[in-house]
Structure 1
Amino acid sequence: MSTSLIDPKDSLERQNEKLLQIVGALMRKVEKKNEQSGVAYAQFERAALLEVQVRERTIDLERTLDLLQESNSRLEAANRETLIARENLIEAIETVSEGFALFGPDDRLVLYNSRFCRELSDVEPRLHEGLTFSNYVRLISNSRHLSLPTPMTPQLWATQRTRRHRDDRVTFNVSLTHDRWLQVSEHRTARGGTVILQTDVTNIIRLERKEREKMRDEQARILQATLDHLNQGVCIFDKDKNLVGWNKRMDYLLDLPPQELALGRNFMILLERLRDQLEFVDEFDGDMLVRWANNNEGRPPVAFEVVRAERQILNVFAQEMPDRGFVISFTDVTAEREAARALSEMNEMLERRVQDRTRELGIALSEAERANASKSRFVAAASHDLLQPLSAAKLFINSLANSVESVEQQDVVTKAESALSSVEQIIEALLDISRLDARRPNFDVRTVRLSAVLDPLRDELTPVAAAKGIDLRVVGSGLSVRSDPGYLRRIIQNLVSNAIRYTDRGKVLVGVRRVGGVARVQVWDTGRGIAKEDQASIFQEFKRLDTSHTEHSLGLGLAIVERACKSLDHSLSLFSEPGQGSVFSVDLPVRLGVAEAPAPIPVRRKAPELNGEIVFLVENDESIAKAMTLTIEGWGGEVIHAWNGEEGLQLLSEIDLRPDALVLDYQLGDGMNGLELLHKIRRLHGDVPARIVSANRGPELNMACRAAGVNLLPKPIDWTEFFTFLNGCALQRT
C-alpha cells in the first residue's frame, strides 16, 4: 500500500509549503553526497522531475479551486433566490382568502397556508410537510368537526374521498358541525401534483337555504291556491301516510268535521271515517286501498269509483309521489255517469233502429243487385239475340249490294246498311253500359300507343265530319299510355262523335298535351256549348239536351265515357261556354321508355275473288248460316255447313277433305263450343285458317281466342274483316 507525502485534507498553501521543504531537503542531501555517485545524480533527476510535476499539479489545483469558488458563489446566489422565491410563494398563498395546500406528484404535502384546515382544529396541528394524501384523508374523516349523515361512516367517507381523488377535477361540499360548510376543490398541476382549495361557503349555503325556504313557502301558497281552484277534491299524504295538505273542494265532496281534516291526521284514521259515508263499487274495496297505501315496494296508480249517499258518484284516483308520499283525488262524476247512462240507452235504441234499417237496406240492396244482375243478363242475352238476326241482315244486304245495278236500288241498299249500322251502335252502347254496371268489370289494361287509337279514328270520322261541313283535325302523338285499348278507343270515339254531332259549323280539334307524367287527350269543338247547370247531367244515361236533333242517339255516349273513365281511374273534365264551344279532357298515365312503332301502311282492301275455295261453316242459327253461305258463294267459294260440333266432325270424317278456311260459331248449343271444335279439327287437319264468330264481346272470350291462336269475328260481322280473312285464304292457296 503506497503512502502520500501530502495530506489531501491540507489547503493548497500548506501543500505547497510541504513540497518546498521536501525539495530543499533533497537538494541538501544531494550536495552532501559524492558528485561522482550515479545514485545521487539519479535521485536528483527524480527530484527535479517531481518538482515539475508538483508545479503542474499546483497550477491545476489553483484552477480547480477558482472554478470551485465560482460554483460556490453561484450556488449561494441560487440558494438565496430559491429562498426568496419560497418566501414570496409562502407570502402569496398566505394572502389567499381560501385554504391552500400543494401535494407533489408522489401525493405528499409540499406546502400549505395557515387557512388550510383552520375549521378543523383537531386536524390543523397534525399537518406537516411530507404528509401523505391518504393520511390527510384519514385525519379529515376522523375529525370531530366533520358532520356525516346518519348512514355514512368515517371509513366509507374516506373511501369515497380517495376514489374521487382519481378524477382530474373535483369539487364538492363538506358539512361541518354547527351548520358550517366547506367547499373543497382539487386541481391537477402540469407535473402531476395536486392543489387543494378549501372555501368557507357557510354564508352562501345559509342564504340559499333561506331563499329555498322562501320559494318553498311561495310555491306552497301557489300550490294551495291551485288546489283550491280545482274542481276535484285533493288530499296529499307524506311518506308516513300523514295528511299534509288538501283543498276546499274536499269539504264540499266529503262531509267530515274540521278536526278530521287536520294536518298530521293519519290516512288509516281518515279512511275509517270515510267508510261510513262511501260505498265501494265494482271489485275495488277499502281493504285493497289499505294494502295499496301500506305497500313499500312501489305503488302503481289506482282508480276506482265510490258512491256517497246513494246518489253521488265519485271517481277516486290515487298515485304515488317521488318522496314515497301519495295523492288521492275525488272527482264528482254523477252528471257524467247519468249522461253516459242516458247516452247508452239512446245508443241501444239507435243501434236497434240502425240494425232494423240496415236489414231493410240489405234486403233492398239484395233486390237491387238481383235486379241489376237480371238487367245485365237480360241486356246481354237480348243483345246477343238481336245481334244474330242483325248479322244475318247485314250479310243479306251486303250480298244484295253486289247483285243490284240501278242507282235507286243501290241508294236503298246504302240506307238499309246505314240503318243497320245505327242499330248495331245502339246495341253496342247497351252492352258497354251493361258491362260497366257490373260490380267488377273486366279490363285489359296494357301499354297503348295513342297513334294506334287516334289515326284509325281520324280515318273513320273524317268523312262523317266532312258530310256536315265540319273541319276535323286530329293531331298525332308519339306517346304511349296505360289503359284498356278497346275502352280507350270507345272513350275518344264517343267524345269526337259527340263533338261532331253537336257542332253545326266550324271545326273539331283532337290533340294530346303532356302534363308531367300525364297525357291529356283533349277534344275541342266550336259547337253550341253547354250551360253550367247542365254540365253534370249530360253524363247521365238517355240524357240529351237537344231533343230536336234528327240523328239517332239514345244519349249513352257520354254515360259510357264517364263510367269507363271512372272504372279505369282516368280523370275526366269538361269546360264549356254556351255559344262558344266545349272541350273535354281525359288524363292518361304516360308509359315511359316505350318506343313508338312506325304507323302501319294502309292496305287497300277489295272484295275477295274466290276460285272454289272450300269454307267449312259451323253455325246453329239458320238465318246467319244462309246469309253467310249466300255471301261466300257469291264471291266464288264453296260452303260446307254443319249445325253443331258433333255434326261437323262427323261430316269432315265422311268427306275426308281438308277445308281451306274454318268459320266456327262459338256457342253451338250441343255441349261443345267453337274453340273446342277448333282444337279437334286442327288435330285432324293441321293449322287450318280459322275465325271464331260470336255475339259475345267480353274480354274473357278475346283472351281465350288469343291463347288459342285464332281471331274473334264479332257479330254483326264486319264484312271488310271477313273480306280480308277470305282474301288471305285465297292467296295462301295460290
Structure 2
Amino acid sequence: MATRALQPPTDAERIAALEAEIGKLKRINAALMDRVERSTDLQGNAFSLFETAISLEGKVRERTLDLERALDALASSNAALATAKEAADDAQRRLRDAIESINEGFAIFDADDRLVLCNRTYLGLWPNIADRIVPGMGFDEIARLIGQDGTTLGALVAPDRWVSERVAQHRVAEGGHVHALADGRWIQINELRTSEGGIVGVYTDITQVKADDARERTLELAEKTAILQATLDNIRLGVCVYDADRKLIAWNGPLLATIGLPADGMPLVMTHDGLVATCERINGPMQADRPLDWLPPGSADMVTQRRHTDGRTVEVRRSSMSGGGMVMSFEDITERLRAAEVLREANESLERRVLQRTADIAAVNARLQREVAEREAAEAAMRSAKTAAEEANLSKTRFLAAASHDLLQPLNAARLFVAALGDRRLALPTRALVRQTGSALDSVEDLLEALLEISRLDAGSIVAEPVDLALDELLESMRAEFAPIARARGLSFRIEPSGHWVRSDSRLLRRMLQNLISNALRYTTEGGVEVTCVTTGRDLTIQVADTGIGIAAVDHQRIFEEFQRVGETGRDRGIGLGLAIVQRASKMLDHPVSLDSAPGKGSRFGVTVPLATARDARQQLATPLRRGQLARRRILVIDNDQSILDGMEAMLEGWGCEVRSATDAASAMAALGADRPDVIVADYHLDNGATGDAAIADARAHCGVEVPAVVITADRTPELREALSARGLHLLTKPVKPAQLRALLTRLATG
C-alpha cells in the first residue's frame, strides 16, 4: 500500500505551535517558582534552597534556549511571508497590466458572482456608468445599471427583460452571444466558468465584422435580384410580385400586354388595388370566384380563368409568400382553349361514330365478312391516329426550334454589339461596363444553353455516338480551357496524363468533364483542383478532386437535380443545371458517376468509362490566328432582323472587313452588284418561310463561284447540321461567340 506523503506545515501553523510552546514554558516556570517558595517556607533549609535554585537555573536556561530558537524560527517565517506577499503583489500587478494591454474587454467574477477585476476596455463599453462599476459589485447589480442606462438596444426596448435574460446567460456561462449597443457598436461576449466556481468574461467589438457581413449579404441579394429579373424577362407569362403592403416590387415585360394595358400603363398597377381596379375597368367585372383577390399568408396556390371583354381568356395563378406578399402570373390561354374545344368536339364525334359502329356490328354479328371489314376500318383509324400523333410531335419540335430562335435572336444581337464596343478604344469606366455587360450576356447564354441541353437530353434529341478516342487530347483541351480561370482565382490546376484510349461520345464526355471541373473551381477558394485517371480492370475512372467546401452526405443525391446548389461561396454562383446534365449524360452513355465528399474536406467526382484499344493519334493543331487577316475582306451578311445586321456590321467593320448587308436573297443581289464577296454569313430562318441556305445558293449563282458560306441558327438538331454540311456550308449556333466567328471567317477568307 502506498504511503501518503506528509505535507510541510504552513507559516501560520508553525507560529501557532511556537506560541503554544512558549505558553507551556511560562506555566512550568511559574510552577517551579511556587514549589521553591513553598519548600523554603516549610523547611527553612538553606542548602535545600540552594540546591533547588541550582536545579531551577538549569531548567530555566534550557527553556530560554528553546524560546530563542522558537523566536528565530518565527522571524524566518515572517521574512518568508513578506517575500511571498511581495511576489503575490508583483504577480497581481503583472496580471493587471496584461489585462489592460489586450484590446478586448475583460472581467473576472468570483464564486459569489462579485467583480474581482476588470480592464478599462470593459468599462469603456458602459461609459455612462463606468465610475459606478467597482470591485465587489455583484453581476446582477452591474446588469441592472446597464439596463437602467439603456446602453444596449435590448435594454432600450425592454429593460427588465434584457436584465433577466442577461443574468441567465451569465449564470450558464457556456459559449458566446452577441449584443447590439445603443451607439451602433456590436459586441460578442464569451463567458467561461473557472475551476474555483468564478466566471471569466471576454467582450470583443465585432462592429466591423457585422458591417462586412451586411455588405456581403447586400451584394448577394443584388446578384439574386439580377438573376431573378433576367429569368422573369425571358419567360412569356406576365408576372408581378407584390409585398406585404400590397405594393409592386417586381414584374416582367409581358405583364402589361397580357392583362391588356398599353406600354405606358405601369403606374396603374403599382399597387394591388390599382391592378384590380384597372383590370375591372378594361377587361370587365370580376367573376364570382374573384380571380384577382389578395391571398393571405399560408393560403394554397390558386389557379383561375378570367374572360376578358375582348374575347380572350387569361389564366391567373396566385401564390402567397411567407413574408405576407403575393406572386401573380398571367397567361393568355385563348388559343389553347380553342384547340381543346376542337379536340373535344372531335372526340365527341369519334365517340358517336364508335357507338354507331358498335351498334351496326351488334346488329349484323352473324355476318363474319361485315365484322372483318369493321375491324379493318378500326385498324385504319388507329394508323391514322398514330400518324396524326407523329405529325403533332413533329409540329411541337418545329415550334420549340422556332421559339429558341426567337429567344436567342435578341441575345445574339446584344452579344454582337458588345463585341463591337469591346474592339473600340473606350474610357476605362466605359470598358468596365462593356465587360460587365458581356459577363451578364455570358450568364444568360449559359442558362439558355443548359436549359436547351436539358430539354434535348430529356426528349431524346441527342443521340450518343460512341467512338474510340484518345483521352489525353480531351484532357489537354480541358487544361487549355480552365487553366486561365484557375490562375485568375489563385488556385492550382493539375491534369495528370493517362496515355489511354476510351470508348465514349466525345461531345457528351467533354460536356460532363467541363461541368465537373467548372463546379470544382467555383466552390474552391483555397488549394486547387486535380484531374487524375485510375484504371480498374477494363474500365477507367476520370476523377475530378478539389479542396473546396465539400458536400454533406444528405445532399449527395439532391445536387444532381435541376436548380439545386449547396454551399454558396458568393463568388460566381452557378445555375444548378451542370450536375443535372452530367447525370443525364451518364445514363445515356452508361458511364457511372461517383461522389466522395464531406463538409470541409473537399469533393471527388468520378466518371467511369470503358477502355479502348490504343492506337497512334495525330494531333491536329489549329492554325493560329493573326491580327489583320480579315482586313479589306468583303463579307455579305443576310438576316431578316435589322438589329442583328447593325450589330454584325459594327463588329465586322471593327475587324477591318468591308460589309454588305441584306434582309433576303433579292436585296443581297442588289447589295453585291458586280462585286463578289469573300464569305457569306446568313441566318437560317428568314422572312416568308425563306431559309439562309437557299439565299446562299442564290448568291453563289449570282457570283458564279462557290463562295465560302456560314449559316447561323438556333436550331441544334443533328438533321439540320448534316443537311447543311452536305451542301458544303458551315454552321454556327446562336448566340454567336465573336471569337468563334472571327476564327471561322479568317480560315474561310484566307484559306
TM bucket (normalised to shorter chain) is 0.3 to 0.5
> TM-score if structure 1 supplies the norm length?
0.46
> TM-score if structure 2 supplies the norm length?
0.45
* Higher helix fraction (1 or 2): 2
